[in-house]
């Protein structure tokens, strides 16, 4: 089998292998998209020319669709432009600034970074998707094991793995929208052939198992990120809201609500101390929210990397 992307491939599989090789080192999601596009096109071409020999069809394809090397070049060129045009606001976090002022700006600059807000949204959302993935995978696995002694056990397992791949694609779209980590836009071409061969390929595919692991882990990770997001956003908003109410009360306005309390007893403070304390509470609230946004940005990136590692074929 010739692996040189500049020579004429002799089968669809060989074409795809050459294309994969020509794209080596590119983004895994881009490779997956390119392979899927090529396979769809080549199979359609083969279906349209079913009365011709495979060799002559492949020769025609090389002339019309292009050799793997040409196609790879087109993807690398176009995708680069797309990413440059659609890239989010320049990533200030990556600029190397070590001064205290720079660190402070970076800490509070998180408000201007759209990715930190979307990542914050992803944290509670992860619980919902986590519950969904976990229940589907657990049900699918137990039914597959339970049905294994019957004839329908294996076909059921194939269908179940197919479902987890669709879910992985959906998760990828969600992760890309929220964190900016590039994920596949199409499903990876699955192995063709008799169902026994497909089953074998499925068992041997590392990604089948990492996808299942990811979807099982999605629940505990979702619970953790939901808890952190809800706890700290409530704490921050509570401190800010309570601070505002206390400030208005300290200024003599008739605002409904309990006086701000430290512990269980209401402190009787002078008017200046009461104002300072409420401002302190507002400041603390802002600090907690800012810290949460920073944390969301970091976990968002980690979520994206983890999803890519587990869900996208290397």
Partner 1 sequence: MNDIARKFQRDLNAGLVALVLLGVLADVDDDLYGYDIAKRLQRARQGEPLFKEGTIYPVLRSLAASGWLSSRIVPSYSGPPRRYYRITDEGRAVLAEWRTVWRHTRDFVDQFTGPSAAPAATFEEPTP
**Distance (Å, rounded) from C-alpha 314 to C-alpha 312?**
6
Choose, by CB under 8 A, the member of 27, 33, 113, 171 that binds partner 1.
Answer: 33
Asked if residue 13 binds partner 1 (CB under 8 A), the reply is: no
Segment interacting with partner 1, rule: CB under 8 A, options 21-29, 37-45, 113-121, 297-305:
37-45
DSSP code at position 51: T
# residues contacting partner 1 (CB under 8 A):
31
Task: Categorise residue 13: left if φ over 0, alpha if ψ from -120 to 50, beta otherwise.
Answer: alpha
Q: Least distance (Å) from partner 1 to the CB of residue 137?
A: 22
| Residue (of 118, 109, 23) closest to 74 by Cα position | 23
Asked if residue 185 binds partner 1 (CB under 8 A), the reply is: yes
Tokens coding 161: 């793995």
Choose, by CB under 8 A, the member of 7, 36, 208, 210 that binds partner 1.
Answer: 36
Q: Which CB sits closer to partner 1, 92 or 186?
A: 186
Choose, by CB under 8 A, the member of 2, 6, 10, 43 that binds partner 1.
Answer: 43
Asked if residue 41 binds partner 1 (CB under 8 A), the reply is: yes
**Distance (Å, rounded) from C-alpha 261 to C-alpha 264?**
6
Asked if residue 162 binds partner 1 (CB under 8 A), the reply is: no
Contact 106, 94 (CB under 8 A): no
**Distance (Å, rounded) from C-alpha 312 to C-alpha 211?**
9
Choose, by CB under 8 A, the member of 189, 201, 282, 306 that binds partner 1.
Answer: 189
Q: Which CB sits closer to partner 1, 52 or 77?
A: 77
Beta strands in the chain (DSSP E): none
Choose, by CB under 8 A, the member of 190, 208, 210, 290 that binds partner 1.
Answer: 190
Q: Which CB sits closer to partner 1, 18 or 233?
A: 18
| Residue (of 161, 167, 175) closest to 126 by Cα position | 175
Asked if residue 37 binds partner 1 (CB under 8 A), the reply is: yes
**Distance (Å, rounded) from C-alpha 310 to C-alpha 211?**
6
Contact 58, 209 (CB under 8 A): no
Contact 60, 15 (CB under 8 A): no
Q: Which CB sits closer to partner 1, 66 or 153?
A: 66
Say how many C-beta atoms besides its own lie within 10 A of residue 123's C-beta.
Answer: 26
Q: Which CB sits closer to partner 1, 14 or 37?
A: 37
**Distance (Å, rounded) from C-alpha 36 to C-alpha 58?**
17
Side-chain-side CA neighbours of 34 within 13 Å: the count stands at 30
Q: Least distance (Å) from partner 1 to the CB of residue 303?
A: 21
Tracing tokens 């039914």 back to the chain, one arrives at 143
Q: Footprint of partner 1 on residues 59-78 (CB under 8 A)? A: 64-66, 70-71, 74-75, 77-78
Q: Least distance (Å) from partner 1 to the CB of residue 299?
A: 26
User: Based on C-alpha coordinates, what's the Rg of the chain?
Assistant: 27
Q: Footprint of partner 1 on residues 130-149 (CB under 8 A)? A: none
Tracing tokens 């349209």 back to the chain, one arrives at 48
Q: Least distance (Å) from partner 1 to the CB of residue 74?
A: 4
Q: Least distance (Å) from partner 1 to the CB of residue 71?
A: 4
Choose, by CB under 8 A, the member of 3, 44, 87, 255 that binds partner 1.
Answer: 44
Q: Which residues bind to partner 1, rule: CB under 8 A?
A: 33-34, 36-41, 43-45, 47, 64-66, 70-71, 74-75, 77-79, 81-82, 85-86, 185-187, 189-190
């Amino acid at each position: 089998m010739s692996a040189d992307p500049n020579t004429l491939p002799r089968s669809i599989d060989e074409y795809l292998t050459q294309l994969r090789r020509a794209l080596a080192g590119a983004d895994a999601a881009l490779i997956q998209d390119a392979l899927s596009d090529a396979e769809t096109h080549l199979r359609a071409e083969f279906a349209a020319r079913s009365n011709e020999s495979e060799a002559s069809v492949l020769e025609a394809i090389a002339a019309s669709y292009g050799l793997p090397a040409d196609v790879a070049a087109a993807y690398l060129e176009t995708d680069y432009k797309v990413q440059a045009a659609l890239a989010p606001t320049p990533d200030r976090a990556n600029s190397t600034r070590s001064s205290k002022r720079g660190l402070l700006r970076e800490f509070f600059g998180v408000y201007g970074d759209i990715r930190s807000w979307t990542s914050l949204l992803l944290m509670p959302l992860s619980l919902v998707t986590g519950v969904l993935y976990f229940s589907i995978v657990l049900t699918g696995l137990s039914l597959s094991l339970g049905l294994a002694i019957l004839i329908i056990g294996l076909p059921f397992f194939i269908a179940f793995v197919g479902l987890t791949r669709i879910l992985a694609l959906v998760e990828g779209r969600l992760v890309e929208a929220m964190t900016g980590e590039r994920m596949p836009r199409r499903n990876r071409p699955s192995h063709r052939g008799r169902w026994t061969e497909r089953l074998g390929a499925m068992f041997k595919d590392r990604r089948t198992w990492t996808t299942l692991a990811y979807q099982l882990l999605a629940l505990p990770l979702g619970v953790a990120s939901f808890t952190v997001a809800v706890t700290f956003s409530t704490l921050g908003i509570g401190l800010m809201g309570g601070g505002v109410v206390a400030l208005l009360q300290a200024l003599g306005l008739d605002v409904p609500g309990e006086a701000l309390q430290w512990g269980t007893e209401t402190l009787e403070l002078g008017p200046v101390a009461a104002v300072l304390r409420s401002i302190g509470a507002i400041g603390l609230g802002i600090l907690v929210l800012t810290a949460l946004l920073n944390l969301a940005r970091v976990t968002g990136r980690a979520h994206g990397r983890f999803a890519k590692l587990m869900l996208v074929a290397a």
